[in-house]
C-alpha cells in the first residue's frame, strides 16, 4: 500500500506498510485489553489483589506482623476433646 | 489436618481472577470485604475490612445473587441463613438455657462465657465455601477459589472431627469405618446435601438439630422391600430382612447397625493466668448404649435409640459464675445420637439374643453419676427379665431359646407370637419350611416323619417320629397290660381251685 503524507508543507511519498502493521498491532492490544478488562481492573486497580497474589510480599508482611505481635499462647490447661 | 502458614491463609490464587475459573473473582474485593484498596500500606488498607463478610448475615454479599430461586439457576440459599444451625448454633444455646439459672445476671455471664468458648464454633457461607472455619484457624481452602462442595477434611471434619469424623473414617481403634464410606466411597454430602446445609427454611428456628425438616434420613435411600419408589429416590439397599418389619418405628436404625462410639464427660471452661481461654473434659470413653427417647414424634416415633453422653457438668461455667446450671435435671446428659459408624452386621444384631436380654447394652441408673440420675430418668431403660425367665412357661426354656429361631414364634406376619405348643410339636409343624410333608405317615414306615427338621439337626418331639416304632411301642404296652391281666387271671383261677 502506498500513500502520500504532507510534511513540512509538502507532500512526501512514504511506504504505509509499517504504519499499517503498527495499526493492526494497536488494535490487537486494544482488543486483548478489553477482553480481559475485569481481570485488569482487579489486578491494576486493587492494591488488595497485587498484594494478596504476591507470595513474597505476603510472606514479608505476615512475618512482620507475627514478629510485632506477641505470640498467642496456647492455653496451658486445655485438655480433652472439644 | 495440617495448619496453614500465615501467608498461605491469605494467598489468592490468580485463577480466582479468571472469569472462566471463578465468576466471584470479577467482584471487586472491597465490595464484599470493605477496607481501602487504594492504599499500599497493609495497615491502612485493612482499616474497616471485614474478614468474613458472610457472617452473620450474608444477604448483602452472597445474597446479592443467591437469595432468590431465579432463572439464572441460583437456588435460594442465603434466605435461609436465619434457620441455618451452622450459623446460629441455636440448639447449643437452647440446651444450656434449659439447664441455666433463669436469673438475668447469671444468664448474662453465661452468655459472655459461651461467647468466648462455645459460639466461636459457628460457620458461615465463607467458612464453608472459601476458607476453613475460623474456629480451626481459618485460611483459604484453595486460594479464595469458591468451592461448590466444601472439602471434607478442611471443612466438615475440621469441626465434626473428634466424634463423627473419626467414626465415619474408622479412626477409632478396632472399629471399622462406616460402611457407606469404606464400601461405597460416600462422603458427607451424599447424605447431608446442600439443601440441608443451607438451612431448614422452617418458619420457626428448630430447637434441636433433629427437628430440622430437611435433615438426612436413612429412609431417604433405604426403603422397605416392596415399597413403592418415587422418581428421584436415592438408591440404597432395600430393607429385606424381616427384623425391619418387627423393629420399624420402635427402634432407631443405629440401635442395630452402629458400633461403639465416643462419649464425652464433664466439661469446664475458664481462662488461664494470661487470659487465654481454655477448656477441659475428662477422658472420653468408647461405649454403646441404648436408651429411651423421652419424647417421640410422628416424624421420629422410635422409642429405643442410641444415646451418647454429652460433655457437660454442673460446674461448666464455675470460672465465670458459680452454680450457673441450677436446672441440670431439665435436659438429659445422655442424648439421642446418630453415630456415623454404620455396619450391616454388628455384635448386637448378630442374633436376637445378642440384644434382647443383653442388659449391658441398655442405659440404666448405674451408668449415670448421682447428679445426673434425675436428668436421665426418662432415658433409662427399665430392664426386662432374662429371656429364659420370660419364656419360663415353655417346657425346657433354655433348650427352646438355644434351638429355636426367635422368628419362628415371633413371626412378623402374625399379630402375636405363637404360644401354642401344637404349632410346632405336631405332624404339620410350623417349623417346616417346605410344602412337602415327606414321608407320609404310615404304620410301616421306618424313617422319621418331617425329615427336613432332622436334616437341620433339630429333633422336635411330636413332629419327628418313626411310625413303625410308634406301633411297636404301643404293641409293647398293650402286651404288657395283656401279660399282667393274663398273669392275674391265672393266679386268681389257681387260688380258687386250692
pLDDT per position as a tens digit, B108-156: 999 999 999 999 889 999 999 999 999 999 999 999 999 999 999 999 9
Q: Do residues B151 and B268 both lie within one domain? A: yes
Cβ B306 vs Cβ B258: under 8 Å = yes
pLDDT at A41: 46
Q: Do residues B347 and B421 both lie within one domain? A: no
Q: Do residues B203 and B111 both lie within one domain? A: yes
Out of A47, A66, A77, whose CB is closest to B45?
A47
Number of domains making up chain B: 2
**Domain end (from B338, B372, B406):** B372
Residue that is written with C-alpha cell 468451592 in the block: B147
Q: What average pLDDT does this structure show over A2-30?
A: 64
pLDDT at B95 over 70: yes
Q: Do residues B296 and B348 both lie within one domain? A: yes
Q: What average pLDDT does this structure show over A7-17?
A: 54
Whole-Å CA distances, B354 to B69, B113, B330, B358: 51, 45, 33, 6
pLDDT at A64: 92
What lies within 8 Å, CB to CB, of B123 at 6+ separation is B86, B87, B133, B155, B159
- Please indicate, yes or no, if residue B230 is contained in any of the structural domains: no
**If you measure CA to CA, which chain B residue comes closest to A67?**
B6
Q: Do residues B94 and B210 both lie within one domain? A: yes
Q: Do residues B332 and B413 both lie within one domain? A: no
Q: Do residues B366 and B391 both lie within one domain? A: no
Q: Do residues B323 and B443 both lie within one domain? A: no
B324-339 pLDDT per residue, tens: 999 999 999 999 999 9
- Please indicate, yes or no, if residue B224 is contained in any of the structural domains: no
Q: Do residues B353 and B415 both lie within one domain? A: no
Q: What average pLDDT does this structure show over B374-392?
A: 94
| Rounded Cα gap, residues B75 and B374, in angstroms | 46
Q: Do residues B454 and B363 both lie within one domain? A: no
Nine cell digits for residue B51? 474478614
**ipTM, 2 dp:** 0.72
Q: What average pLDDT does this structure show over B262-271?
A: 93
Give the pTM: 0.80
- Please indicate, yes or no, if residue B185 is contained in any of the structural domains: yes
Q: Is A34 touching B (CB cutoff 8 A)?
A: no
Q: Do residues B285 and B399 both lie within one domain? A: no
**Domain end (from B372, B403, B429):** B372
Q: Is A55 touching B (CB cutoff 8 A)?
A: yes
Q: Is A45 touching B (CB cutoff 8 A)?
A: yes
Strand B334-336's sheet: what is its strand order? B290-292, B304-309, B334-336
Q: Do residues B264 and B410 both lie within one domain? A: no
Collect all residues of chain B within an 8 Å Cβ-Cβ radius of residue A48: 29-30, 33, 35, 37, 45
Out of A47, A63, A80, whose CB is closest to B280?
A80
**Domain end (from B372, B405, B426):** B372
Does residue B78 come out as left (phi exceeding 0), alpha (psi in the -120 to 50 range) or beta? alpha
Nearest to B268 by CA among A34, A55, A79: A79
- Please indicate, yes or no, if residue B29 is contained in any of the structural domains: no
pLDDT at B17 over 50: yes
Q: What average pLDDT does this structure show over B285-295?
A: 96
- Please indicate, yes or no, if residue B225 is contained in any of the structural domains: no
- Please indicate, yes or no, if residue B203 is contained in any of the structural domains: yes
- Please indicate, yes or no, if residue B310 is contained in any of the structural domains: yes
Domain of residue B166 covers 83-216+241-372
A54-78 pLDDT per residue, tens: 999 999 999 999 898 877 666 667 7
Amino acid at each position: 500500500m502506498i500513500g502520500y503524507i504532507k510534511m513540512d508543507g509538502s507532500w512526501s511519498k512514504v511506504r504505509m506498510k509499517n504504519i499499517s502493521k503498527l495499526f493492526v498491532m494497536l488494535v490487537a492490544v486494544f482488543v486483548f485489553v478489553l477482553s480481559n478488562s475485569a481481570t485488569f481492573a482487579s489486578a491494576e486497580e486493587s492494591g488488595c489483589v497485587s498484594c494478596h497474589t504476591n507470595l513474597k510480599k505476603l510472606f514479608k508482611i505476615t512475618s512482620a506482623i507475627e514478629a510485632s505481635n506477641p505470640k498467642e499462647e496456647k492455653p496451658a490447661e486445655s485438655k480433652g476433646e472439644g | 489436618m495440617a495448619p496453614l502458614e500465615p501467608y498461605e491463609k491469605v494467598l489468592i490464587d490468580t485463577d480466582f481472577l479468571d472469569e472462566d475459573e471463578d465468576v466471584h473473582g470479577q467482584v471487586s474485593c472491597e465490595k464484599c470485604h470493605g477496607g481501602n484498596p487504594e492504599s499500599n500500606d497493609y495497615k491502612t488498607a485493612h482499616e474497616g475490612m471485614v474478614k468474613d463478610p458472610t457472617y452473620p448475615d450474608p444477604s448483602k454479599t452472597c445474597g446479592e445473587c443467591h437469595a432468590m430461586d431465579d432463572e439464572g439457576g441460583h437456588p435460594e440459599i442465603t434466605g435461609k441463613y436465619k434457620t441455618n444451625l451452622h450459623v446460629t448454633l441455636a440448639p447449643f444455646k437452647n440446651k444450656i438455657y434449659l439447664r441455666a439459672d433463669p436469673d438475668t445476671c447469671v444468664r448474662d455471664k453465661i452468655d459472655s462465657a459461651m461467647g468466648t468458648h462455645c459460639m466461636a464454633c459457628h460457620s458461615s457461607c465463607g467458612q464453608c465455601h472459601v476458607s476453613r472455619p475460623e474456629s480451626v484457624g481459618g485460611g483459604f481452602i484453595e486460594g479464595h477459589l469458591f468451592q461448590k462442595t466444601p472439602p471434607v477434611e478442611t471443612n466438615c471434619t475440621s469441626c465434626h472431627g473428634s466424634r463423627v469424623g473419626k467414626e465415619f473414617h474408622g479412626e477409632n481403634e478396632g472399629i471399622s469405618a462406616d460402611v457407606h464410606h469404606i464400601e461405597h466411597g460416600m462422603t458427607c454430602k451424599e447424605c447431608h446435601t446442600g439443601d440441608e446445609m443451607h438451612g431448614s427454611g422452617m418458619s420457626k428456628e428448630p430447637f434441636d438439630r433433629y427437628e430440622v425438616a430437611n435433615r438426612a434420613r436413612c429412609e431417604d435411600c433405604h426403603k422397605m422391600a416392596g415399597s413403592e419408589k418415587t422418581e428421584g429416590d436415592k438408591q440404597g439397599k432395600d430393607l429385606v430382612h424381616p427384623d425391619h418389619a418387627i423393629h420399624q418405628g420402635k427402634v432407631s436404625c443405629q440401635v442395630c447397625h452402629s458400633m461403639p462410639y465416643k462419649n464425652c464427660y464433664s466439661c469446664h471452661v475458664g481462662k488461664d493466668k494470661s487470659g487465654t481461654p481454655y477448656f477441659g473434659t475428662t477422658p472420653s470413653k468408647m461405649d454403646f448404649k441404648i436408651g429411651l427417647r423421652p419424647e417421640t414424634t410422628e416424624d421420629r416415633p422410635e422409642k429405643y435409640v442410641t444415646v451418647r453422653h454429652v460433655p457437660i457438668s454442673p460446674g461448666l461455667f464455675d470460672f465465670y459464675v458459680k452454680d450457673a446450671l441450677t436446672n441440670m435435671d431439665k435436659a438429659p446428659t445422655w442424648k439421642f445420637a446418630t453415630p456415623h459408624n454404620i455396619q450391616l452386621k454388628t455384635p448386637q444384631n448378630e442374633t436376637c439374643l445378642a440384644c434382647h436380654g443383653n442388659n449391658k447394652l441398655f442405659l440404666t441408673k448405674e451408668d449415670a453419676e448421682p447428679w445426673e440420675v434425675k436428668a436421665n430418668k426418662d432415658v433409662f431403660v427399665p430392664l426386662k427379665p432374662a429371656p429364659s425367665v420370660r419364656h419360663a412357661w415353655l417346657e425346657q426354656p433354655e433348650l427352646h431359646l438355644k434351638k429355636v429361631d426367635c422368628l419362628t414364634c415371633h413371626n412378623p406376619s402374625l399379630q402375636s407370637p405363637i404360644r401354642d405348643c401344637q404349632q410346632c410339636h405336631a405332624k404339620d409343624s410350623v417349623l417346616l419350611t417346605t410344602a412337602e410333608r415327606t414321608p407320609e405317615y404310615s404304620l410301616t414306615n421306618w424313617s422319621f416323619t418331617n425329615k427336613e427338621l432332622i436334616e437341620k439337626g433339630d429333633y422336635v418331639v411330636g413332629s419327628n417320629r418313626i411310625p413303625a416304632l410308634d406301633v411297636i411301642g404301643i404293641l409293647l404296652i398293650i402286651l404288657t397290660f395283656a401279660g399282667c391281666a393274663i398273669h392275674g387271671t391265672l393266679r386268681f383261677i389257681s387260688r380258687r381251685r386250692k
